[in-house]
Amino acid sequence: MAHFNTFSAGGAGAPAFPNRSAYEALGWGTDGQATQLTSGGSANSLGSWVTIGSPVAEVSGFFIAPSAPNSTASRFLLDLTLDNEVTVHLNQVYHQLPTSTGGASRGIFVPMAIAAGATVKGRIRAAGASSTLRVGLICRPRDAAADPTLFSNFHQIHGPDTANSRASTVNVLSASPGSFVELVTATAAEYKAFAAAVSDNGTVATGGVARCVIGVDPAGGTSYQEWASFPFRPSTTAPLCAGALSPTFEKTIPAGSRLAARIDGGGGDSYRVQIFGWN
């Protein structure tokens, strides 16, 4: 199994907390700004690939750090690629970041390797034409003892809705508590780790607070087990869904599992949920 978090203090046969070499930042200039990506010239169209950087040393995972969108009302889908060949992070939704004046969105850890010297490029599509988003990467240097194996594949398990730059096309109605809504009848493969993101479905009438819950039935039925959850902040004004991105969960989803999402709270509005994973 691949490992991307090693927090043990050692002892009793447990691996020691790794003393890694320096973490490498890719994509930032001396002015403190990350690399600017621009979406296509029409709504929901892709922009061009832009080089973010090349790590000096081998990387065993990295944090995506998005910031400074041109508008709080923007919705973005981000692509990353390595040497124009390997898709690392395809169409992951960053929905309406909290500020347009340099503030950062909640980022995510991507548990995939980057070879030393590989060229990392990014591009975005967005709800608005010619929208901009700045993106940098914080790269974790590989430790051979702590990272014996690495993930090499990224998968869209459910979503996104590329035509509208949203998380998916399936509505998940919120309530207190909500009810599970099926997203995937049977997963196509085993995923060793996964994450999720939430967007609105076109409107948020109430706002308030909310929690997205990912339910899994490994047997393929509808007896969903709560395997992961994360909070987000719906609002009637932009950004409509702030912080609507989960951590990366170290939890294996078996092949053939049925997946669902539930929104607790949320003011009775409907939301969209995207799920993606690695193996």
pLDDT in tens, 227-259: 999 998 888 887 788 778 899 999 999 999 999
Q: Which of 93, 22, 80 is nearest to 49 (CA)?
A: 80
Record the tokens describing residue 225, joined without a space.
Answer: 């087990």
Helix H or strand E encompassing 36: strand 35-38
Q: Which of 226, 240, 231, 259 is nearest to 94 (CA)?
A: 240
Centroid of chain to Cα 148: 24
Q: 74 and 136: one domain? A: yes
pLDDT at 144: 74
Beta-bridge mates of residue 26:
137
What global pTM score does this model have?
A: 0.88
For residue 267, report the phi and psi dihedrals to the nearest 5 degrees. 70, 15
Going by pLDDT thresholds of 50, 70 and 90, the confidence category of residue 155 is very high
Beta-bridge mates of residue 197:
245, 274
Q: Is the pLDDT of residue 100 over 70?
A: no
Q: Which residues of 34-68 are buried (b: 16+ CB within 10 A; e: fewer)?
A: bbbbbbbeebbeebeeeebbbbebbbbbbbbbbbb
Domain containing 98 — which CATH number? 2.60.120
Q: 222 and 181: one domain? A: yes
Q: 129 and 169: one domain? A: no
Instruction: Match 């409907």 to its residue by tokens.
Output: 270
- Please state whether the peptide bond connecting residue 160 to the residue before it is cis, i.e. omega within 30 degrees of 0: yes
For the chain, the domain total comes to 2
Q: Is the pLDDT of residue 94 over 80?
A: no
Domain housing 126: 24-141
